Structure 1
Amino acid sequence: MNVFAHKIVRSAAVAGLTLASMGGTGAAQASTSAPSGDVSIQESCPSSGQVGYGRVCTSLSSGRLFHDKTQGSGPVTVRTWYEKNSGGSSISAKLGFNYAGTTTWGSTFTQSPGTTKSASWSRNWSSDCYSTIGMMSVTGQGTYQTPSGTC
């Protein structure tokens, strides 16, 4: 599939998220499942972290942290989500992204083993090609990040 067609498919998969995002206010919407159309099928992230057009991931000891951006006919939707392994205990965390040295965070949540939490933001950027990094801050453990997500 060429890059243009892949981008259209991805844009259609996140149409619901774009409608649910909170505009350009920086507020994020947390959900308990992976973004629509984004259920991962791989056991771990590739060493490059690149899993698709603009999509990156990082394997952590307790799961996988993903980040991507999509643009339909309007604003760019920036998304970060975490798939927590079924073992271990619950965590308190927040998801975010870094753009040009500034990190935007969503609300703090509690995540149980075997679940996925996600956050999305809508930005009025002219393109989804801006370099961003997915971030997750886990209370008492530290901050984790993905590789840079570019085009």
Structure 2
Amino acid sequence: MTKRLRVLSAIIAAVAAPVFAAPAAMADSTEVTPMHHWGSCSHDGFTNDVGARCTKLSNGTVYVRKTSYPTVTAQYYKSGGSNIYARVGFEQGGKNTWDGYQTMSTGGHYTASWGPKEGVGCTPVIGKLHVQNGTTYPTPSMSMC
């Protein structure tokens, strides 16, 4: 993903977050995400947003979201623990697509988006966090269409 696209994605996220913010009654006071409208993560992988799935880990939460068709966003919010060297990505049709590895520290939000140029299609997607030690943490599958 180019630097220009990352900057544009960050600007869009900053502008869209207040517009789509969840009501206070929907917010999870123990977890903060940069896109509050994605909602808190339930034990079965659902959020308050029907277009998102998640997996809650001991030191953070992995999200995948259909931001628009056919664009998918993967995100990891690190809520505690030591720094990790990891990357976010998604799986679609048995093929993994990854952002670059980076050091992830407590309080950080690590997000990447992919669209039709990267081959995102209509088949279901799984969001993923891959730690350099080889462990991969997937979200439940989510429909793209």
Alignment TM-score, normalising by the size of structure 2: 0.68
Find the aligned partners of 2:93 and 2:100 in 1 and give their Cα distance.
Answer: 21
Asked whether the 8 Å contact 1:70–1:128 carries over to 2, the reply is no
2:74 aligns with one of 73, 80, 89: 80
Q: 1:92 matched to which residue of 2?
A: 85
Residue 113 of structure 1 corresponds to which residue in structure 2?
106
Matched, 1:132 2:131: no
Q: Distance in 1 between matches of 2:97 and 2:125?
A: 11
Q: Are 1:62 and 2:59 matched, yes or no?
A: yes
Secondary structure of 1:53 counterpart: coil
Q: In the TM superposition, what whole-angstrom CA distance separates every residue of 1:27-68 from its partner, at most 9, and x where no partner exists?
A: xx4989xx4428783245212212122200110011100101
The corresponding residue for 2:34 is none
State whether residues 73 and 112 of structure 2, in contact with CA within 8 Å, keep that contact through their aligned partners in structure 1: yes
CA RMSD after TM alignment? 3.0
Amino acid at match of 1:60: L
1:67-122 Cα distance to aligned partner (Å, 9 max, x none): 01132xxx62210001101x321110011100011111111111111111111111
Partner Cα distance (1:39, 1:109) in 2:
28
| Structure showing the higher strand proportion among its residues | 1
Q: Which residue identity does 2:107 align to in structure 1?
A: G
Q: CA deviation at 1:131?
A: 0.8
CA distance in 1, matches of 2:88, 2:131: 9
Gaps of 5+ in 1: 1-19, 22-28
The one of the two structures with greater contact order (alpha-carbon pairs below 8 A, sep at least 6) is 1
